[in-house]
């Protein structure tokens, strides 16, 4: 199934790639992980691993897609055949498909909660203390019916876009939502700059204290460098297939990485400015956005308006990323069942909806169940995908690229001199795999 419908322009492709990368990892996950791991030193370590791990895996996926110009499975099959490598490498794409579908199933549940909070904010949500905040959060968390309803709504939003042609669906969505997202971010940063906690937030994010350096922090930064760039699930292979022919891979990735990191910085500044202004500790974990932030915003001027804008921003980011996660599933259904894109998107939506029952129940009815390692079912479900399957897929992508694509071909695809292609090969052959193996081991052991 050769890809004929490509993203029309270079700018549209960059926005589409940015939409895939910039999601809950930047806006929901980054602030609380940074808060749990020393702030500035975590941010610095995270940047290092983006360069050594995130970008190499991202580049490998796009290169594979651009060469194959087909679904992830067919791209890998084609390259393996052309280079006399084992046909078993195509199973890598199936592992990536499994990973992206599992991630999308819990991504949709979290995004459903964001819709719930957005509606509450529009209706005038006011939270005077942490007790009220917990009550509101528990109302949605402990209701499987409500979770499934909002989850279903988000899945519908995702696959309505995915059902359209690439140039009309993914391309136009990201071309519209990325500028809107940055405008909202800039407006929120201007607002945050007037708060008492703004200076403290900047210091917290940019003051690198080596005493906070730890093995756990390094592992967290390593894992986040993959998660935040949507790398390691074969989704970006599909984007490589949609890439305009004469577009530079490295320039596109460089722009997207800068956009991605900038969002993380801006969201961190906004979040911590609000939290610190009200002397609320930033260590609420995953509930930082849903528990601490509403309390802080309820105490400041224009808090409800800012809260509404913030949750709309969060929903926008998760929407564009979920469309990316859905793409491998749609392409495979379209290929193997010979269905139209619209019907393939509908079938994919049903699969994700059924699978999302697990995280919905894990958050609600099974919330207190901790079967192994003293972890909840929801944490186990998300950890298996994010901390084990995603790195394993990323490792195999690196290995396949190093084995099947020559330095000369890398130089051609990356449009760089042979010595730079040799350096890139060194990174994907040795440095990045070692880092991923450490990440996998830590995910299994801890």
pLDDT less than 70: residues of the chain = 1-6, 166-168, 283-286, 446
pLDDT computed for residue 285 by the predictor: 66
Q: Which helix (H) or strand (E) holds 422?
A: helix 418-426
Q: Which two tokens stand for residue 237?
A: 């292979």
pLDDT computed for residue 80 by the predictor: 95
Q: Which two tokens stand for residue 35?
A: 């808060």
Q: Quick check: 237 and 72 in contact, CB under 8 A?
A: yes
C-alpha 269: how far from chain center: 20
C-alpha 87: how far from chain center: 29
pLDDT computed for residue 136 by the predictor: 87
**Any idea what DSSP says for residue 372?**
B
pLDDT computed for residue 150 by the predictor: 97
What phi, psi does 372 have (nearest 5°)? -145, 155
pLDDT computed for residue 446 by the predictor: 65
Percent helix, percent strand, percent coil in the chain, to nearest 5: 80, 0, 20
Q: How far is residue 160's CA from residue 155's CA, in Å, rounded to a whole number?
A: 8
Reference 228, options 133, 324, 150, 112; nearest CA is: 324
| Tokens 């003051």, located at residue | 207
pLDDT computed for residue 5 by the predictor: 60
Kindly report, residue by residue over 56-98, the tens digit of the pLDDT.
999 999 999 999 988 899 999 999 999 999 989 989 999 999 9
Q: Which two tokens stand for residue 166?
A: 């690439």
Reference 386, options 28, 3, 11, 4; nearest CA is: 28
Q: What radius of gyration, in Å, describes the C-alpha atoms of the chain?
A: 21
Kindly report, residue by residue over 211-243, the tens digit of the pLDDT.
778 888 888 888 888 888 888 888 899 889 988
pLDDT computed for residue 148 by the predictor: 96
pTM of the model: 0.89
The CA distances from residue 400 to 76, 90, 438, in Å, are 9, 10, 19
> What domains can you pick out in the chain, each with its CATH number?
10-445 (1.20.1740)
**Any idea what DSSP says for residue 8?**
S
pLDDT computed for residue 151 by the predictor: 96
The CA distances from residue 286 to 85, 129, 319, 347, in Å, are 43, 18, 19, 31
What phi, psi does 434 have (nearest 5°)? -60, -45
Q: Quick check: 280 and 33 in contact, CB under 8 A?
A: no
Contacts with 332 (C-beta within 8 Å, 6 or more apart), sequence order: 71, 72, 73, 97
Q: How far is residue 56's CA from residue 53's CA, in Å, rounded to a whole number?
A: 5
Q: How far is residue 402's CA from residue 400's CA, in Å, rounded to a whole number?
A: 5
pLDDT computed for residue 314 by the predictor: 87
Q: How far is residue 9's CA from residue 256's CA, in Å, rounded to a whole number?
A: 15
Q: Which two tokens stand for residue 246?
A: 């004469």
pLDDT computed for residue 116 by the predictor: 94
DSSP string, 34-71: HHHTTTHHHHHHHHHHIIIIIHHHHHHHHHHHHHH-S-
Q: How far is residue 105's CA from residue 357's CA, in Å, rounded to a whole number?
A: 8
Q: Which residues pair with 158 in a beta bridge?
A: none
């Amino acid at each position: 199934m050769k890809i004929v419908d490509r993203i029309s322009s270079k700018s549209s492709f960059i926005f589409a790639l940015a939409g895939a990368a910039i999601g809950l990892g930047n806006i929901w996950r980054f602030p609380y992980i940074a808060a749990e791991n020393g702030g500035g030193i975590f941010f610095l370590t995270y940047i290092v691993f983006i360069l050594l791990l995130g970008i190499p895996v991202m580049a490998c996926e796009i290169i594979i897609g651009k060469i194959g110009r087909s679904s992830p499975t067919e791209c890998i099959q084609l390259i393996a055949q052309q280079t006399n490598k084992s046909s078993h490498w195509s199973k890598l794409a199936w592992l990536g498909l499994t990973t992206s579908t599992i991630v999308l199933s819990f991504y949709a549940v979290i995004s459903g909660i964001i819709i719930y909070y957005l509606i509450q904010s529009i209706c005038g949500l006011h939270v005077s203390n942490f007790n009220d905040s917990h009550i509101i959060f528990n109302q949605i968390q402990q209701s499987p019916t409500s979770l499934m309803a909002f989850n279903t709504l988000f899945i519908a939003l995702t696959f309505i876009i995915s059902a359209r042609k690439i140039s009309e669906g993914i391309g136009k969505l990201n071309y519209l939502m990325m500028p809107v997202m940055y405008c909202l971010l800039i407006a929120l940063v201007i607002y945050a700059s007037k708060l008492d906690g703004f200076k403290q937030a900047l210091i917290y994010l940019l003051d690198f204290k080596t005493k906070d350096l730890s093995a756990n922090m390094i592992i967290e930064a390593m894992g986040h460098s993959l998660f935040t760039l949507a790398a390691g699930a074969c989704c970006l292979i599909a984007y490589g297939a949609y890439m305009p022919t004469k577009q530079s891979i490295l320039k596109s990735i460089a722009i997207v990485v800068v956009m991605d990191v900038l969002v993380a910085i801006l969201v961190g500044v906004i979040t911590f400015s609000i939290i610190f202004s009200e002397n609320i500790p930033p260590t609420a974990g995953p509930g930082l956005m849903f528990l601490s932030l509403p309390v802080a915003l309820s105490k400041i001027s224009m808090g409800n308006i800012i809260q509404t804008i913030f949750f709309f921003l969060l929903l926008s980011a998760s929407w564009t990323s979920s469309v990316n996660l859905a793409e491998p599933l749609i392409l495979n259904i379209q290929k193997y069942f010979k269905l139209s894109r619209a019907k393939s998107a509908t079938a994919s939506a049903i699969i994700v909806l059924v699978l999302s029952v697990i995280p919905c129940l894990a958050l609600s009815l099974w919330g207190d169940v901790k079967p192994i390692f003293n972890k909840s079912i929801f944490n186990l479900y998300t950890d298996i995908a994010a901390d084990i399957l995603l790195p394993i897929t990323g490792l195999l992508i690196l290995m396949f690229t190093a084995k099947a694509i020559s330095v000369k071909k890398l130089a051609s695809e990356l449009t760089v001199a042979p010595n730079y292609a040799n350096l890139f090969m060194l990174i994907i052959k040795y440095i990045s795999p070692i880092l991923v193996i450490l990440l996998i081991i830590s995910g299994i052991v801890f």
